[in-house]
Amino acid sequence: AQKVTQAQTEISVVEKEDVTLDCVYETRDTTYYLFWYKQPPSGELVFLIRRNSFDEQNEISGRYSWNFQKSTSSFNFTITASQVVDSAVYFCALSWPSGSARQLTFGSGTQLTVLP
């Protein structure tokens, strides 16, 4: 069975600090996809990134970067020079069944608060 663990329930940082959100997953599938979604206080879900299980290259997008390591089953998310607007709940998610990218198992989320 799939499982996604986000052990950090809440994180609070001061603006301009770097912050890393951890995500550990479990799956028996060989082909799967990992996702990060952002849920700001307004409540909508915003897609941030998708990574497939065959692509372990790290990705950087502006102040956001992602570190995917199959050896440790982790897909961590780092925000560099955090801003107040980054305050949100961040969800990591894993797709199923094998090869599909549409049914998702979500982690419980990490509430990030960036203080001015």
Q: Which stretch binds other proteins (CB under 8 A): 18-26, 65-73, 75-83, 89-97?
A: 89-97
Contact region for other proteins (CB under 8 A) — 14-22, 55-63, 71-79, 90-98?
A: 90-98
Q: Residue 4's closest CA among 79, 111, 104?
A: 104
Residue 101 DSSP class: S
Does residue 94 contact residue 25 with C-beta atoms inside 8 Å? yes
| Cα distance between residue 18 and residue 95, in whole Å | 28
**CB of residue 17 to other proteins, shortest distance in Å:** 25
Residues of this chain, 43-72, that bind other proteins according to CB under 8 A: 43-45, 47, 50
Considering only 19, 104, 112, 114, the residue that binds other proteins (CB under 8 A) is: 104
